[in-house]
Structure 1
Amino acid sequence: MSGWIGLALIGVVAAGALWVSGVSRSLWTLVGAALMLGAAGYALQQRAGLGEHLAVSDATPVAVAPEMVELRNAMLGRFTGDGAYLIASDALMRSGSRRSGANVVLLGLNHYPRSLTLWTGLGTALVQHDAAVSPAARLAFDQATRLAPEHPAPPFFEGLAYAQTGEYRTARLYWARALKLAPAGASYRRDIALRLAALDLVIAQLN
């Protein structure tokens, strides 16, 4: 029973945080869906008696790789209004402010609700915050894909998230799609191909 009370409290706190942050109501649907997915998973597991475990500390810095930032810029553009929020998020993540790093992307979406850049960035930020490809992160990547189904950025960065969490075979599916979608003359196409080839070597070694 205490687990369900805690889950209800999380929902109340999340709603309050969104209201205080001034996030538009159009984005509440995403957070609400994530909470519902979490509740459904909790109900299916029915393991409320399990002991606590330590979550990832919000003060732990995130290693934001410069080459990934460059690749993101190549795919999604540099020095754009919505991209500025990702620059701020990167800085906060490097300083260890994971929650603020994710929140600043949400604030950007309040101004640019149909931004492919920010929905892709939100998926990445949520993975960095949760240290896992959480349901909320998948929802963000899915929204990016809905906005631009033929753009390679959403599948590439979702694949990167899976690769970073050790789910290499799942990551390969996304990177193969990103390579297929990358235009033949794009400067970043070779980067995707090289990373896919390296991933194939890792998978082969695991086999």
Structure 2
Amino acid sequence: MNWIAILALAALAFLLAATVLRLPRGGWMLFGAALLFGLAGYALQGSPGQPSSPAAAKGEAPVEGELLVEARREFFASPQPPSRFVTTADAFARRGDFENAANFLRNAVRENPNDAEAWLALGNALVEHADGQLTASALFAYSRAEDTAPGNPAPTYFYGLALLRAGQAVQARGLWAEALEQAPQDAAWRPGLAERLERLDALIVQMSPGSADSPAR
């Protein structure tokens, strides 16, 4: 039965990457291969019957890191690049090294406490370093990102994404819908958020067909 849960988590990870994070079709094979590589390694060395067995395959971390960085940058479309600390942290995040990414981002917010993108990137790095768990430190980082950029839906979006990964799809959907409702009509990030919300609706229906919790269309 443990393998059924592991395979279900792998399938959910692929669906999230392909639909919600909009992984390009050309990258599907790479991401799928990363998942299969991780599962194969776990089959050889893991112990799924033990309660403390490792939960995530390292093979998929670089793919996830690249997607997270690209998704975050969509909400900060500006000619001005991020700070040097954020840029360096992104390089670590793309390789799946979220611990070092978080360390650089702590320097970024220490240098400039009003750097909303640095706070957001720190929240993302802390969630990934905790294997998808919303820790108190990550929640604080998301809160600071929201405080320093009150008109930007990025903290709400990534907070919702963390809820989605924790299996709280309906709650995540509510956050994204609220952010979209409050978004200015001419906001550059509005079409991307609307598309993600539509994909999440489809994912909820696919995961729970006929459920009363599925959003009305």
Q: TM-score range by the shorter chain?
A: 0.5 to 0.7
- The separation in 2 between residues aligned to 1:119 and 1:203, in whole angstroms, is 29
Question: 1:77-104 CA deviation, whole Å, 9 max, x = no partner?
Answer: 4464644433322321232322101111
- Counterpart of 1:114 in structure 2: which amino acid? N
* Corresponding residue pairs, total: 157
In the alignment, what sits opposite 2:162? 161
In the alignment, what sits opposite 1:203? 204
**TM-score of the superposed pair, with normalisation by structure 1:** 0.64
| Distance change (3 Å), C-alpha of 1:85 and 1:179 | farther
| Distance change (3 Å), C-alpha of 1:204 and 1:52 | closer
Shift of 1:130: 0.6
In the alignment, what sits opposite 1:32? none
In the alignment, what sits opposite 1:192? 193
Shift of 1:155: 0.7
- The separation in 2 between residues aligned to 1:78 and 1:152, in whole angstroms, is 15
- Counterpart of 2:52 in structure 1: which amino acid? H
| Distance change (3 Å), C-alpha of 1:152 and 1:130 | same
- The separation in 1 between residues aligned to 2:113 and 2:81, in whole angstroms, is 12
In the alignment, what sits opposite 1:53? 52
Question: 1:104-161 CA deviation, whole Å, 9 max, x = no partner?
Answer: 1111111111111111111111111112122211111112222233321211121122
Structure 2 unaligned blocks of 5 or more? 1-49, 212-217
Any conservation in 2 of the 1:82–1:108 contact (CA below 8 Å)? no
**TM-score of the superposed pair, with normalisation by structure 2:** 0.61
- The separation in 2 between residues aligned to 1:92 and 1:173, in whole angstroms, is 32
| Distance change (3 Å), C-alpha of 1:88 and 1:174 | farther
- Structure 1 residue 175 and structure 2 residue 176: aligned? yes
- The separation in 1 between residues aligned to 2:193 and 2:86, in whole angstroms, is 21
Any conservation in 1 of the 2:63–2:94 contact (CA below 8 Å)? yes
Q: Sequence identity of aligned pairs in percent?
A: 30
